[in-house]
A and B are shown apart, each in its own frame.
Chain A
Amino acid sequence: MTKTVEKTDALDLERKFSKIKPLLKSYEASVEASRCLFCYDAPCINACPTSIDIPMFIRQIMSRNVEGSAKTIFTQNILGKSCGQVCPTEVLCEGACVYNAMNEKPIEIGRLQAFATDYAIKKNIRFFSKGKKTDKKIAVIGGGPGGLACAHELTRLGHEVTVFESAPNAGGLNTYGVAPYKYSNKESQEEINYISQIGFEIKTNHKIDSKSLSELEKKYDAIFLSIGLGKSNKLNIPGENLKGVYGASEFIHELREKEQKITVGKNIIVIGAGNTAIDATVETSKLGANVTVVYRRTEKEQRAYYFEVDLAKVHSARFMYLTTPIEILGKEKVEGLKCIKNNLKFEPIKGSEFVIPCDMIISAVGQEKMVDFYKNISGLKIDSGKVIVNKDFQTSNLKYFAGGDCVNGGKEVVNAVSHGRDAARGIDRFLMEKVSS
């Protein structure tokens, strides 16, 4: 039995999109913290792209020094709160926890990290301040996690920083990309306010084009590119322009912007089996749709993490593997998806075409790289759409540094944070060495 999703009332939405990993209570946090073995040269630290001293911050929670714990986290990762909640901890820190080798539940590092950082943000306990003024000005293009981390670190080092963000709000993926049952708009905004009060400016609704870019080049001593990725990739099959066909990142952007107060179809097909595809699957399922995931290869090849796929299955999503979409059917509006079955070599099986009726399609087969934008920057070397940087995150155009998705092609929030932080140090070395020599 299905029914068209009407505007679900706010309370119901709140319940459906409540945190899958709720904030720990103080007592829960100390019980969990006391389980930590305090490993030497702990594998969890090595598994964290920002190398947070995890055993130490957990020990500080155990000794009820939550403020000190937050400081330990923020010293390495100023976006420690969102990372604690949106990181795929199962394959990072928690995946490396030695308890796994004992067949015991790993320490809930992500939730402990969220607990400590939430404490500091709610109480607005500030650990860092603006460094001694250097008279250097840096523009950060893109106010996502990488840009914010870079801007914060640069400000600590004494530079004057302006962040340019094209969207109405900063935060990037944290605000417009990750699943709302992991991180809410409110939390993202609180985190941005907490970080930026160190003293850098964020200009939102400020899209940078070729003209404004050349102005930035004149006005600023260095520019950090943290522009992420572009639009969702096209499927390149007939019928793609029909009403009811969405790109996954655009769909999620709208969902986040409207705080889930949107109407979706009743029978939805999600194409692709990466983490974004699964996010869209779970989100639309929560909004009441029957969702079918169509993927051309098998469960083994799918890029989504196993725990994300499990979550989709809990939400009754149906998975059709070895299935390639070949045509979107419909007059004005999408009415079905014509597919063909593949063999185990992923080759289409002749005559196996079939149609899945649907009223909405979300295509989640990756995002475009921002190659058009890169054309505006002289001498900028790119490889398969990714900006090439050295270990200081400096590009082939020495004025430009870059980090995050535009460098790694699209990874986790925590990778972007690590890039942003380290790029800031690279920028500082570059600008200050010039001063001293």
Chain B
Amino acid sequence: MPNLESNFAGIKSPNPFWLASAPPTNTGYQVMNAFKAGWGGAVWKTLGQPIVNVSSRYGALSYKSTRMMGLNNIELITDRSLEVNLKEMKEVKEKFPNHALIASMMFEKKEEWHDCIKRCEDIGVDGFELNYGCPHGMCERGMGSAVGQNPDVCEKITSWVTEKATKPVIVKLTPNISDITKPALAAQRGGANAVSLINTINSVTGINLDTMDPNPTVSGLSTHGGYCGPAVKPIALNMVSELTNHPDFKLPISGIGGVETWQDAVEFFLMGASTVQVCTAVMHYGFRIVTDLIEGTSGYLDSHKMHSVGELCGITAKKLKKWEELDLNYKVIAHIDPEKCIGCQLCYIACEDGAHQSISVIPGQRVPMIKEDHCVGCNLCSLVCPVDTCISMVKIETGKSKITWKDHPANPLAKVKAF
């Protein structure tokens, strides 16, 4: 059995599966239930100055009959008093001393940050997460993503925290920015011990076509919300890898964004995260999903003869290169297994109308034919095919050696001519 115990920037937890700062970590009741279910840590719902939440807070993107592919919210930070939160956090820490309890915070003034840090440390939290990511509401007041989007402010506020805190400090980054490495490096300069990403993405999930009101509607109006859930995972994976691959960035990463199954978690580890945080999947299915995260990750490590999550960390991130470093002589073409083909011809029409006209259909025959001399190997047919492993992309030996764009004869700026 691999050891799933985690030490993330000095924060210890029984496993690397944490609850993200969000509705599931609103109360001590919830967090204790989560720890009982098997979660390794929890980032408490963000503490801050008093706010009031709207009723009607969440909107979702559903695809066909799949519910909540993406979820957005216009909920703000905790709407309960600091005293109540601290009292419940203390109870949690007393009952679950070995689980990670992290206080998420969001304030305006240095004194407010310092005051909250002290009070949290007094009740025994294991670390802090600075919410620089919330893309709605709080940013209008100069907090949340307003901080995360400005590296100078990010660095300054981080330094306010790190000068006071004795426990590890994680900076939570907003994805609503063109270069994620900028605020991450600013957090590093400000003395942060780790980063977590991604926070939610600016979004409007949809419109009620009967009333033409945006979702989620608050008396006919709405505001852009923070988007999360399975649909955002690809964006999060890319951003995590960008940090992992940045030569100057050295901090550990807690991966967030669409984690639901153990496969999602392993993908984040392979991109360089050493813990993951989960919210939407718990909002959809409850705390019990952690069983699959634990069992699945353990099984995966076993099958790869690995002993800890740390061994996975960043393996795949290293395989992400600039486009110009890819081999232009690598060639695959599609192959249809006629035994598995069910004859839906989706590959045909996708290729014909949407790609490279490299598949033909023969009248009276349901299994399409690949025009092998025409196929560019784009993968589209294998992606639309509803049958697992029916269309495979087969590597073709071209006999040509690797050539990248840097060296390609078609590149006017190529330094070396290939021939």
A and B co-occur in one complex? yes
Q: Interface on A for B, CB 8 Å cutoff?
A: 30-31, 34-35, 37-43, 62, 98-99, 101-102
Q: Is B177 an interface residue (CB 8 A)?
A: no
> Given A37-B386, A43-B366, A62-B64: A99 and B342 within 8 A (CB)?
yes
Q: Mark B259-300, 1 if CB is under 8 A from A, else 0.
A: 000000000000000000000000000000000000000000
- Residues in B whose Cβ lies below 8 Å from that of A42: 344
Further 13 A-B residue pairs, CB within 8 A, beyond A39-B344, A40-B346: A30-B65, A31-B65, A38-B346, A39-B345, A41-B345, A41-B361, A42-B344, A98-B343, A98-B344, A99-B342, A101-B342, A101-B343, A102-B342
Closest to A62 in B: B64
Q: Is B348 an interface residue (CB 8 A)?
A: yes
In the complex, which range does the number of interface residues on chain B fall in? 10 to 19
- Residues in A whose Cβ lies below 8 Å from that of B153: none
Q: Given the complex of chains A and B, what is the CA–CA distance between A154 and B139 in angstroms?
A: 67
Q: Given the complex of chains A and B, what is the CA–CA distance between A99 and B387 in angstroms?
A: 10
Instruction: Name the prevailing secondary structure of the B interface residues.
Output: loop
Instruction: Name the prevailing secondary structure of the A interface residues.
Output: helix
Q: Given the complex of chains A and B, what is the CA–CA distance between A35 and B343 in angstroms?
A: 16
> Given A43-B366, A62-B64: A98 and B348 within 8 A (CB)?
no
Q: Given the complex of chains A and B, what is the CA–CA distance between A41 and B343 in angstroms?
A: 10
- Partner among A40, A62, A98 whose Cβ is within 8 Å of the Cβ of B349: A40
The 3 closest A-B pairs by CB, nearest first: A34-B64, A40-B345, A101-B342
Residue pair A37, B343 in contact (C-beta under 8 Å): no
- Residues in B whose Cβ lies below 8 Å from that of A41: 345, 361
- Residues in A whose Cβ lies below 8 Å from that of B366: 43
Q: Interface on B for A, CB 8 Å cutoff?
A: 64-65, 341-346, 348-349, 361, 366, 386-387
Residue pair A43, B343 in contact (C-beta under 8 Å): yes
Q: Mind listing 27 A-B residue pairs with CB under 8 Å?
A: A30-B65, A31-B65, A34-B64, A34-B65, A35-B65, A37-B344, A37-B346, A37-B386, A38-B346, A39-B345, A39-B346, A40-B344, A40-B345, A40-B346, A40-B348, A40-B349, A41-B345, A42-B344, A43-B343, A43-B366, A62-B64, A98-B342, A98-B344, A99-B342, A101-B341, A101-B342, A102-B342
Residue pair A102, B387 in contact (C-beta under 8 Å): yes
Q: Given the complex of chains A and B, what is the CA–CA distance between A157 and B341 in angstroms?
A: 43
Closest to B349 in A: A40
Q: Given the complex of chains A and B, what is the CA–CA distance between A40 and B368 in angstroms?
A: 11
Taking the closest CB of chain B, its distance from the CB of A61, in whole angstroms, is 11
Q: Given the complex of chains A and B, what is the CA–CA distance between A102 and B342 in angstroms?
A: 7
Taking the closest CB of chain B, its distance from the CB of A65, in whole angstroms, is 11
- Residues in A whose Cβ lies below 8 Å from that of B349: 40
Closest to B350 in A: A40
- Residues in B whose Cβ lies below 8 Å from that of A31: 65
Taking the closest CB of chain A, its distance from the CB of B337, in whole angstroms, is 12
Closest to B66 in A: A34
- Residues in A whose Cβ lies below 8 Å from that of B64: 34, 62
- Residues in A whose Cβ lies below 8 Å from that of B344: 37, 39-40, 42, 98
Q: Given the complex of chains A and B, what is the CA–CA distance between A42 and B348 in angstroms?
A: 12
Closest to B387 in A: A102
- Residues in B whose Cβ lies below 8 Å from that of A98: 342-344
Residue among B344, B361, B386 having the largest count of chain A Cβ atoms under 10 Å: B344
Q: Given the complex of chains A and B, what is the CA–CA distance between A38 and B344 in angstroms?
A: 8
- Residues in B whose Cβ lies below 8 Å from that of A40: 344-346, 348-349
Q: Given the complex of chains A and B, what is the CA–CA distance between A31 and B65 in angstroms?
A: 5
Taking the closest CB of chain B, its distance from the CB of A433, in whole angstroms, is 31
- Residues in B whose Cβ lies below 8 Å from that of A30: 65
Residue among B342, B343, B348, B349 having the largest count of chain A Cβ atoms under 10 Å: B342
Q: Given the complex of chains A and B, what is the CA–CA distance between A31 and B386 in angstroms?
A: 17
- Residues in A whose Cβ lies below 8 Å from that of B346: 37-40
Closest to A103 in B: B342
- Residues in B whose Cβ lies below 8 Å from that of A102: 342, 386-387
Residue among A39, A40, A62, A98 having the largest count of chain B Cβ atoms under 10 Å: A40
- Residues in B whose Cβ lies below 8 Å from that of A38: 346
Taking the closest CB of chain A, its distance from the CB of B219, in whole angstroms, is 25
Taking the closest CB of chain A, its distance from the CB of B338, in whole angstroms, is 11
Q: Given the complex of chains A and B, what is the CA–CA distance between A233 and B345 in angstroms?
A: 46
Closest to A63 in B: B64
